[in-house]
Amino acid sequence: MALLNILQYPDKRLHKVAKPVAQVDDRIRKLVADMAETMYAAPGIGLAATQVDVHERVIVMDISESHDELLVLINPEIVWSSDEKQQYEEGCLSVPGIYDKVERPEHVRVRALNEKGETFEIDADGLLAVCIQHEMDHLMGRVFVEYLSPLKQTRIKTKMRKQTAAA
């Protein structure tokens, strides 16, 4: 396994739309393992392949306190979402140190493949629903700060560019 480099906002590669995974094979399973290791080391609760400059529809997440409940979503699609919304303070490994409230559907049902290539569905609410939607946005080339006001987006871009220049 290997730690992968996480792209930092406003890197343009974060805006690429991920392609569906054609076949769940050893290459994808290695990507999943590397992404999980990277997410846990960061530390974070979710990571989309887009964030590590792989533009395929792969997500890993683990919202457990014990960090031993890895959820893998390959080619995920939201098949249902509730009309009820919730606001949650979100952060992102690609936008370190920035947190803000984003409104999203409170409940979602997702269909995806696991690392064996088997189809499954999961009903999610609370933090899991937020995390799934946040990571799926990455696959569509969207970063959570794009839900914020233009003024906040500009401030965040400026701050991130300064941090990158100082590094």
49 contact partners, CB below 8 Å, separation of at least 6: 18, 31, 35, 55, 56, 57, 58, 59, 139
148 contact partners, CB below 8 Å, separation of at least 6: 100, 102, 156
* Strands 119-125, 107-113: pairing kind: antiparallel
- Known binding-site residues for Fe cation equal 92, 134, 138
Instruction: Measure CA of the first residue to CA of the last residue in the chain; give whole Å.
Output: 26
Among 56, 90, 106, 135, the one annotated catalytic: 135
Spatial contact of 121 and 79, defined as CB atoms under 8 Å apart: yes
- Known binding-site residues equal 92, 134, 138
16 contact partners, CB below 8 Å, separation of at least 6: 50, 55, 141
Closest C-alpha among 114, 120, 11 to residue 55: 11
Confirm whether 77 is a catalytic residue: no
Q: Which two tokens stand for residue 103?
A: 């409104």
| Residues that are catalytic | 135
